[in-house]
Structure 1
Amino acid sequence: MGQHYYMLGLAIVGLLALTIRVLRIGSRPKGYPPGPPTLPLLGNIHQMPSWDAHLQFEKWAREYGPVYSLMLGTKVLVVLSSDVAVKELLDKRSAIYSDRQDMYIAQTLGSGGLRMLMMGYTPTWRTFRKHVHNLLNITVSRSYEPYQMLENRQMLYELLHSPQDFLHHIRRYSNALTTTMVFGWRTPTYEDPKMQQLYDGFAEFAALANTGTAAFVDFYPWLRRLPDWMLHAQREAKRLFARERRLYVGHWLRAKEQVRDGSIRPCFCVGLAAAQEKDGFSDDQAAYVSGTLLEAGSDTTASTLYGFVQAMVLFPEVQRKAQEEIERVVGKGRLPTMRDESDLHYVRCCVKESLRWMPATILGAVPHAVTKDDEYMGYTIPKGAGVMNNVWAINMDPVRHPEPRRFNPDRYKDDQLSVHDSATNPDPTKRDNFTFGAGRRICPGMHVAERSLFLGISRMLWAFDITPAVDASGEPIMPDSSKLTQGFDCCPEEFPATITPRSKERAEIVEREWREVEAEQLDPVTKQWKVMPHERKEL
């Protein structure tokens, strides 16, 4: 009998110990950065917003300070909401702050473990990152200006003839530039089915990755043992991956075949094919490296330009000031070019303010992760914790940027740096914005993006006036700048605007510029490049 009670006592003690251990899941250990109160097992999961998460993350930053933590089931998320914290951890300590947490739904199932955005800081990621850098570094990026000029001309022509579809034209501009750089072919129309699949598919993927079910499966790994019929997120992730893989592998195999037969235009995939022969990585891996570039290049520039159009509707005084500068520097007889950039300082400030005011990567896209225990500001940051660059909160910090929701390019009147040089400035308080990320995960395409944005903004303002649309009664329809799309890449919810030529003469120049380049450089049937462009004299 004594033995029986002894064993029963051991069982009770063991059960109590297990219960205590389970109930500690979700609690915030002593020494971690502060944060909102937690519940057993859940931590702060129940407080995670399903809509406009950036506003809640900003609110917590004001309440708990520039470094706070969220306990998400079995995982920890440390949120950096100050320029100094981002500089110190993601930049200066990038050797240990460049990993990713496990994202089972989005990466393992939804991307086959192949998406560079979510890949851990592994030798594979570093190898592919090196290839991407070779495509997008500052020296090579200048060679893409002929592509940017052509796609920009078509965008202006489309704005002239169907201004109500300005979002479509902006997206085609961004996507066509990216496909040319990556694959050697361009997207001539917005109706292109592969471009539609890209935008629609990535929107579905982002929506899935941000569902509550996906979060629970990420934060409680034991749920992954449940069958697919019980977890919609698992079924949907596998379906999206199969569809997306067909698109990306199709793009890659087409490029690979063109490399073999010598018909491909100079582009990223030429170098990637050579690297594949040398290093032996799979077609799936190559497809997702090139596909990752396609995603990033198609979305972020388009989102920023779309935000700029909204800013011009809401802040007409900025538009007038920028147009006055363009008039003074460029005049009426020609479109602005990259040669004008150094003299169009206010327009460059408009680029910087667009990136700050409506950041596409509103919460830093995907959190970094730390590979070993660290300490900052007296707080413990544990190995494996996610570390978020809270872009919105930093860009909207009223100390850094008084009246942060006012679109005011004069904030940068004394800033002569490029966005890259600003991002690497040793003084984080002097950095213009945090939209391109930080550390070893910083966006490698910022050089190309800055040029595309400058050409897009300067030329739209040279050619057109952007004003509010009006309703049936003649009243202006003012967009709400607080209404944003959700997901990895954010932009304003769709809104109407009126885009009209500033004069008949400017409209004729827009028309002529496109017709000339269309006749001289594009195949009349396919609208692809006849030969690879050489820099024209105005570049």
Structure 2
Amino acid sequence: MPLYTLYAGLVVVVVLLFRRLTSIGQRPKDFPPGPPTLPLVGNLHQIPSEKRHLQFEKWAREYGPVYSLMLGSKVMVVLNSDVAVKELIDRRGAIYSSRPEAYVAQDILSGGLRILFMVYILSCAQRTFPWAVDVGSQDRAPCLERIGGKNVRAVSRLGEQGDALGFLESPGDFINHLRRYTASLTTQMTFGFRTTTLHDPRFKEAFEIFDRSSELIGSRIGALLDLVPMLRNLPELLLPIKKEGRELHLRELKLYRDLFLSTKKGLQNGTAKVSKSLSLHNPTATLTKILQPSICVDLVQEQKQEQISDNQSAYFGGSLLQAGSETTSAILVAFVQAMVIYPDVTRAAQAELDHVCGDRLPNLNDVPHLPYIRACAKESLRWMPGFALGIPHAVTRDDVYMNYRIPKGATVIMNVWAIQNDPQRHPDPRRFDPLRYIDDQQTSLDAANCPDATKRDHFAFGAGRRRCQGMHLADRSIFLAISRLLWAFDFKRAVVDGQEATPDQDDLLDGMMMLPNPFPAGIRPRNAARADVVRKEWEQMMERLDGEQQWKEVPEGLIWKDEQMSEAQQA
């Protein structure tokens, strides 16, 4: 071969490699628009290390309902309108229900066991939890039906006066009281026991893990490891996130296993509080006959039928615990902050409660008669959504939307913060204003299923086939907490160094989960009579608890009026 031919060939190879390298990070012309890119890195250098939701919102205002970010060799498509979310995540859910790679969140922090981050739910989750999820047909399996069905209604009837008593005895610890409240409702639903005290080591361990995991997942290095797989091969000395993440996973797995195996042992040795009609050999037994409702009952039954390991079952139950307690408590903490910042809302809510409930504590039967309280709950979910940028989705084949190409494998983000703070959708969006929803009687599920996307109240529970299945429980537990706390307590600005301290509503904890950083609040009973009612309610509740403050038997109750109203509307 002549020498010049060899040189010519090398030149061609170099040119092709150069073009290939310089194309990395560049936005193809048929992709959705987005900010200018740089070779190789694309838009990576423009992703802030903190308060990303603000930058994503800014881009939404600049580039419209859908834009794209080039992150090295990968692409992220960001949806910034209710209509775009409805069309892609809901209506095209068959190809938008996967997840992008989540190296830190899934591989490191959960050993691949967390359903929330499973890459392709049809092939992966069904293989691991074939009894729990059938996203392909949208049929809900027994355990998921429990989350939105009779089991949740039974748990929500338990009331949990303990949170109000905590506010009475140690109001400065209100954040932990709210966390205990949501954790207790969720542990009852999932594992069959009440979380009775802030000092329960399982309670403290759970939230320590939740908080730190959220920080690691939301960190810049966590995002880089998802986007640039070659970085994962660096030694742990250079990537301490790997060592810490694995240690957190071992702590979390032990916590979840202990909770699940304790329930399983109780069922096997007969110490669990179930009715005589329930038997592990009777898979047709229904949870309506279980004295202490628990999704773990189903897990134990299904283990034998589906050959599921204890670790898999434990993580399924533990994931429900995290989803049910962490998200709801963050919403309630934000609500308390809103009441401190916006005293006019507090006064209006209390006036409605006084008119409807008088000298008794509100309950779920009051939902139809407390539209302003219901609106407060909706506004809380809009004003401070738990996941400002949602949980990422991934598209499994090429698609076209608004004449833009969305390539197979693209990460798809629901920009919840931008949608819920769109001034065209919600005027003066950073003001906490329940009147936005005063005529909206939809439940979160009703709104999520509404064919008109512009009438959906909020997107805090996600969308499509992987939206939160516990929104019924969240709606009820948020309503109960808001109504009872406002009925019993005033929320004032704390006095610090002789001056009132107004919380900064933009001072948020950075991480995957959005919630306010700790702030002071002046919480006190509205009057002595209300404080007495709270104490008496707790005394009556104690009569129904055993020596360990667990239910002697779960209270029975009629269908709540809000359920009757919803069923009548559906009919």
TM-score when normalising by structure 2: 0.90
Moved more, 370-379 or 107-116: 107-116
Alpha carbons 1:132, 1:444 under 8 Å: kept: no
Helix, strand or coil at the partner of 1:500: strand
- How far apart are 1:28 and its partner, in Å? 0.9
Distance 1:234 1:9 in 2: 46
Match of 1:196 among 201, 204, 209: 204
Match of 1:505 among 520, 529, 534: 529
1:452 equivalent to 2:477? Answer yes
Match of 2:551 among 516, 520, 529: 529
Distance 2:59 2:362 in 1: 43
Moved more, 25-34 or 262-271: 262-271
Helix, strand or coil at the partner of 1:499: strand
- How far apart are 1:197 and its partner, in Å? 1.4
Counterpart code for 2:325: S
Equivalent in the alignment of 1:412: 437
Equivalent in the alignment of 1:143: 154
Moved more, 217-226 or 484-493: 217-226
- How far apart are 1:123 and its partner, in Å? 4.3
- How far apart are 1:131 and its partner, in Å? 4.5
Equivalent in the alignment of 1:24: 23
Counterpart code for 2:492: T
1:380 equivalent to 2:405? Answer yes
Distance 2:224 2:483 in 1: 46
Equivalent in the alignment of 2:378: 352
Distance 1:76 1:290 in 2: 33
- Taking a change above 3 Å as real, the CA distance of residues 217 and 489 of structure 1, as seen in their structure-2 partners, is closer
Alpha carbons 1:155, 1:170 under 8 Å: kept: yes
Alpha carbons 2:398, 2:407 under 8 Å: kept: yes
Match of 2:226 among 215, 218, 221: 218
Alpha carbons 1:362, 1:391 under 8 Å: kept: yes
Distance 2:546 2:217 in 1: 40
CA deviation string 1:256-306 (max 9, x = no partner): 212211223330000011111111122211111111101111111111111
Helix, strand or coil at the partner of 1:76: strand
Counterpart code for 2:187: T
Equivalent in the alignment of 1:92: 91
Counterpart code for 1:336: P
Counterpart code for 1:176: S
- How far apart are 1:538 and its partner, in Å? 9.8
Counterpart code for 1:355: L
Equivalent in the alignment of 1:125: 125
Match of 1:485 among 509, 515, 520: 509
Equivalent in the alignment of 1:309: 336
Match of 1:295 among 322, 335, 356: 322
- How far apart are 1:536 and its partner, in Å? 8.4
1:396 equivalent to 2:421? Answer yes
CA deviation string 1:92-128 (max 9, x = no partner): 1111110001112221122111111101222453542
1:259 equivalent to 2:282? Answer no
Alpha carbons 2:154, 2:293 under 8 Å: kept: no
Alpha carbons 1:361, 1:391 under 8 Å: kept: yes
Distance 1:213 1:3 in 2: 50
Distance 1:359 1:212 in 2: 21
- How far apart are 1:319 and its partner, in Å? 1.0
Equivalent in the alignment of 1:209: 217
Counterpart code for 1:281: I
Distance 2:466 2:387 in 1: 13
Alpha carbons 2:60, 2:80 under 8 Å: kept: yes
Alpha carbons 1:325, 1:344 under 8 Å: kept: yes
Helix, strand or coil at the partner of 1:423: helix
Moved more, 452-461 or 23-32: 23-32
Alpha carbons 1:337, 1:538 under 8 Å: kept: no
- Taking a change above 3 Å as real, the CA distance of residues 202 and 131 of structure 1, as seen in their structure-2 partners, is farther
Distance 1:216 1:309 in 2: 35
Distance 1:61 1:222 in 2: 31
- Taking a change above 3 Å as real, the CA distance of residues 511 and 72 of structure 1, as seen in their structure-2 partners, is same
CA deviation string 1:293-348 (max 9, x = no partner): 0111111111111111111111111111111111111112x101111110011110
Work out the number of aligned pairs and report it: 530
Distance 2:74 2:208 in 1: 30
CA deviation string 1:214-264 (max 9, x = no partner): 222221222333333332222222222222211112222222212211223
Alpha carbons 2:151, 2:189 under 8 Å: kept: no
CA deviation string 1:44-98 (max 9, x = no partner): 1111111111101000000111100111122111100101000100111111110
CA deviation string 1:188-209 (max 9, x = no partner): 1112111111111122212222
Counterpart code for 2:414: N
Moved more, 316-325 or 237-246: 237-246
- How far apart are 1:537 and its partner, in Å? 11
Equivalent in the alignment of 1:81: 80
Runs of 4+ in 1 over 6 A off after TM superposition: 536-539
Alpha carbons 2:340, 2:491 under 8 Å: kept: yes
Match of 1:339 among 365, 370, 379: 365
Equivalent in the alignment of 1:109: 108
CA deviation string 1:11-61 (max 9, x = no partner): 332233223212221111120001111111211111111111110100000
Helix, strand or coil at the partner of 2:75: strand
Alpha carbons 1:146, 1:536 under 8 Å: kept: no
Counterpart code for 1:189: T
Helix, strand or coil at the partner of 2:450: coil
- How far apart are 1:516 and its partner, in Å? 1.6
- How far apart are 1:378 and its partner, in Å? 0.6
Helix, strand or coil at the partner of 2:156: helix
Counterpart code for 1:122: L
Alpha carbons 1:175, 1:294 under 8 Å: kept: yes
Counterpart code for 1:521: R
Distance 1:211 1:326 in 2: 42
Distance 2:217 2:166 in 1: 34
Equivalent in the alignment of 1:173: 181
Report the identity percentage.
49
Moved more, 124-133 or 435-444: 124-133
Unpaired stretches in structure 2, ≥5 consecutive residues: 134-140, 273-291, 562-571
Distance 1:110 1:45 in 2: 24
Unpaired stretches in structure 1, ≥5 consecutive residues: none
Equivalent in the alignment of 1:66: 65
1:231 equivalent to 2:239? Answer yes
